[in-house]
Amino acid sequence: MTASTLAAAATERAQHIRQRGDRPSQRRSSPEQGSRAVMRTRLTSVQLRDAGSDGGTLEFSGLASATETGYEMWDWYGPYTEIVSAGAFTDTLARADLDVPLVLGHDQLRRIARTTTGTLQLVEADPGLTVAAQLDPADVDVAYIAPKLRSGLVDEMSFAFRIEAGQWSPDYEEYRITRVDIHRGDVAIVGYGANPYTGAGMRQPAAAPSSRARALLELAIAR
């Protein structure tokens, strides 16, 4: 995104948007029409731990959204910088019926944890929306993604959400999201991302998993 392209899009946007509080039209993550509108960041850590005598769990933590950090987005008029404000998740995370799954690649059929089952916890804290999940190593999707996370082949996250409130900057080059709704959206482990500001890694087990869990993970790694 060059400064001239950003300025040209902002000039066009200013001529057509009626109010600065209007949401971006055809919001997306790339210039291609129809591309998905998501924000992406890199993972922070993954840890393997023994959950008990019946089997282990894969303990996952990551960052699904970085707040107060600009990233590139596109709308009908061209590129702009988008920022999620600190506090934008307060209302949505306070819902008693919050339903958000942790999925692979935003595929709703590849769920590996969920807030409604108690296996996924979402908290907004510096630097953004943090994710903590307890994963079942016997799940084929968990066995598939675990070695890729461990090796660093996959190290980014994204989240799908709805904008409830936001505002354009006076020059229409930046849109700041002040309130989001993530209920019935998702947090996802993805291959490529647009936000380069956070890091990733897979830590060694804090304790050895059970023989069954270890065998499943070793089988997945050997494939």
Check residues 212 and 91 and name the one with the higher pLDDT: 91
Alpha-carbon span 66 to 145, nearest angstrom: 23
Both tokens assigned to 172: 């229409």
Q: What is the pLDDT of residue 37?
A: 77
Rg, Å, the chain Cα set: 19
For residue 9, give every residue at least 6 positions away whose Cβ sits within 8 Å of its Cβ, in sequence order, or none.
Answer: 75, 77, 78, 79, 80, 173
Give the residue with greater pLDDT, 215 vs 179.
179
User: How far is 41 from 157, CA to CA, in rounded Å?
Assistant: 5
Q: What is the pLDDT of residue 54?
A: 55
Q: Give the pLDDT of residue 30.
A: 83
Give Cα 7 distance to the centre of its chain.
28
Q: Residue 36's pLDDT is what?
A: 74
Find out whether 61 and 213 touch, Cβ atoms under 8 Å.
no
pLDDT (tens digit, 9 = 90+) per residue, 73-109? 999 999 999 999 999 999 999 999 999 999 999 999 9
Q: Average pLDDT over the chain, rounded to whole?
A: 83
pLDDT at 55: 59
Tell me the domain boundaries of the chain. Answer: 3-222
pLDDT of residue 44: 66
What is the DSSP-derived secondary structure letter of residue 118? T
Give the residue among 79, 42, 181 at the shortest CA–CA distance from 122: 181
Backbone CA torsion sign across 177, 180, 186, 187: positive
Amino acid present at 189: I
Could you tell me the pTM of the whole model? 0.80
The pLDDT of residue 46 is 60
For residue 41, give both structure tokens.
């960041």
Q: Are 39 and 71 in contact (CB under 8 A)?
A: yes
Q: What is the pLDDT of residue 49?
A: 59
Mean pLDDT lowest among 14-18, 175-179, 202-206: 202-206
113-140 tens-digit pLDDT: 999 999 999 999 999 999 999 999 999 9
What tokens were used for 67? 């707040």
Q: If you average pLDDT over residues 2-19, what whole number do you get? A: 94
203: helix, strand or coil: coil
The pLDDT assigned to 114 comes to 98
pLDDT of residue 56: 75
H-state helical runs in the chain: 3-16, 90-93, 140-151, 211-222
